[in-house]
């Protein structure tokens, strides 16, 4: 049975600054490794996957049905449009060789293998390296009240974005919609009514939480769900489908100044940060991206966890694990609330100094800092 290296492993942790730097590096390493392995998989595909092949057959069958309807004079223009759309989808399948479901499955497999390769040999409670998953298992199970095999498997599950988190959120809280009237350059600066919908946003972002690996392993033991409603928030976003239907032009084709003015009008009315695109951008020098700030926040919690085991790994007893799990639950709850407070009740900074620590979009930072023109 492997001897515990918990004390040595924990005492090697010098400072919070070191931990934050280590976790940031781990996050970037995981992202890069995930991208590398997914790219390698895509490049290895020479034929359609089974799922892609089946999907292509369904598209071809549907096209045949639509041609039959056209031959009978039924919905000719509408069916021709559908055929063009399906033909385009077939072309994409032929080029990519995989479906979105295939990609999702592969991403799950890759993240699990990365968990095993990069993290499985390390104890999430004390940070000590035991050389393998079996070494960690021996370490955490060597006492009578050690982790069970079921708990170990649960601990090493990788968090991922669910497909129905937004639907579940809206089911409980309803749908948040409103409109703003904004002069748009695209329409000769005439006031235009724009429908604002919503994006359901993860407070603690999925990728930073999943890709920092260590803290999420303890999160699994407290049944923390990255997709549960307490970790979600409704943020305003343009209803692009309705915009095109109402105004005859895709929202994406609007001049940047129009998009900016719409976003700022939505922020003013809702007092909530606007959701637009990803969250890896750096809004200004000295201001980290939303995702990097989340990584830093998670790193601070990880530092606290390691400090708790500096005199011996708390992961080896049920009493010790309960103390760690209680801390992690409290800190994750607090983090969610801090992020929520940054996003809601959103106002310009009166003295030109940022009052919040993170921004969903560049337009949010600019609005907060008084850059409205």
Which are the contacts of 38, defined by CB distance < 8 A and separation ≥ 6?
103, 106, 107, 110
Q: How far is CA 238 from the centre of its chain?
A: 20
Residue 241 has a pLDDT of 93
Angle between helices 50-71 and 76-96 (to 10 degrees): 160
- Give the pLDDT confidence score for residue 45 in this predicted structure: 97
Classify burial at 354, counting beta carbons within 10 Å of its beta carbon; exposed 0-12, middle 13-18, buried 19 or more.
middle
The span from the CA of 81 to the CA of 46, in Å, is 30
User: Rounded to an integer, what distance in angstroms lies between the CA atom of residue 29 and that of residue 332?
Assistant: 23
**Contact between residue 49 and residue 100 where contact means Cβ atoms under 8 Å apart:** no
- Copy the structure tokens of residue 365: 């930072």
**Separation of CA 248 from chain center:** 32
Q: Which residues touch 99 (CB under 8 Å, ≥6 apart)? A: 49, 51, 52, 55, 93
Residue 126 phi, psi dihedral angles, 5° rounding: -115, -15
The residue extents of the domains of the chain are 6-142, 165-368
pLDDT at site 183? 97
C-beta atoms surrounding 44 within 10 Å: 8
What phi, psi does 274 have (nearest 5°)?
A: -85, 140
Q: Which residues contact 37 (CB under 8 A, 6 or more apart)?
A: 110, 113, 114
The predicted structure's pLDDT at residue 28: 93
What is the rounded CA–CA span in Å between residue 270 and residue 92?
A: 39
Measure the CA–CA gap between 147 and 28, rounded to whole angstroms.
Answer: 30
Instruction: Give pLDDT, residue 7.
Output: 40
CA 270/CA 313 separation, integer angstroms: 47
**Hey, which bits of the chain come out as E strands?**
178-184, 190-202, 232-238
**Phi, then psi, of 200 in degrees rounded to 5:** -90, 115
Residue-by-residue pLDDT tens, the chain, 373 positions: 444 444 434 445 457 888 888 899 999 999 999 999 999 999 999 999 999 999 999 999 999 999 999 999 999 999 999 999 999 999 999 999 999 999 999 999 999 999 999 899 999 999 999 999 899 999 998 777 888 889 999 999 999 999 999 999 999 999 999 999 999 999 999 999 999 999 999 999 999 999 988 999 999 999 999 999 999 999 999 999 999 999 999 999 999 999 999 999 999 999 999 998 899 899 998 899 999 999 999 999 999 999 999 999 999 999 999 999 999 999 999 999 999 999 999 999 988 788 898 999 999 999 999 876 5
**Rounded to two decimals, what is the model's pTM?**
0.88
- Look at residue 142 in the predicted model and tell me its pLDDT: 78
Residue 22 — φ and ψ, nearest 5°?
-65, -45
Query: What pairs with residue 200 in β-bridges?
Result: 234
């Amino acid at each position: 049975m492997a001897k515990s290296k918990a004390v040595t492993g924990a005492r090697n942790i010098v400072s919070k600054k070191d931990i934050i730097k280590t976790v940031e590096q781990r996050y970037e390493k995981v992202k890069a490794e995930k991208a590398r392995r997914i790219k390698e998989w895509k490049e290895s595909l020479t034929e359609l996957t089974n799922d892609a092949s089946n999907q292509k057959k369904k598209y071809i069958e549907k096209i045949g049905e639509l041609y039959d309807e056209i031959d009978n004079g039924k919905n000719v223009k509408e069916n021709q449009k559908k055929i063009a759309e399906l033909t385009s989808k077939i072309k994409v399948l032929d080029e990519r060789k995989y479906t979105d479901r295939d990609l999702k499955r592969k991403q799950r497999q890759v993240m699990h293998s990365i968990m095993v390769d990069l993290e499985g040999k390390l104890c999430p409670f004390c940070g000590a390296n035991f050389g393998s998953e079996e070494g960690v298992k021996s370490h955490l199970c060597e006492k009578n009240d050690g982790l069970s095999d079921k708990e170990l498997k649960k601990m090493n599950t990788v968090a991922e974005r669910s497909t129905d988190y937004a639907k579940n959120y809206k089911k409980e809280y309803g749908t948040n919609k409103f409109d703003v009237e904004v002069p748009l350059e695209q329409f000769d600066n005439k006031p235009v009514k724009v429908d604002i919908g919503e994006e359901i946003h993860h407070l603690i972002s999925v990728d930073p939480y999943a890709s920092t690996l260590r803290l999420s392993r303890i999160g699994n033991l407290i049944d923390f769900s990255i997709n549960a409603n307490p970790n979600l928030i409704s943020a305003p976003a343009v209803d692009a489908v309705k915009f095109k239907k109402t105004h005859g032009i895709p929202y994406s084709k609007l001049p940047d100044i129009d998009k900016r003015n719409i976003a700022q009008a939505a922020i003013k009315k809702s007092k909530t940060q606007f959701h637009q695109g990803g969250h890896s951008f750096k809004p200004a020098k000295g201001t980290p991206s939303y995702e990097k700030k989340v990584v830093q926040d998670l790193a601070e919690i990880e530092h606290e966890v390691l400090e708790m085991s500096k005199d011996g790994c708390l992961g080896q007893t049920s009493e010790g694990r309960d103390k760690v799990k209680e801390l992690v639950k409290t800190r994750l709850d607090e983090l969610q609330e801090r992020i929520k407070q940054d996003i809601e009740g959103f106002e310009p900074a009166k003295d030109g100094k940022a009052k919040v620590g993170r921004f969903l979009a560049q337009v949010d930072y600019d609005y907060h800092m008084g850059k409205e023109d």
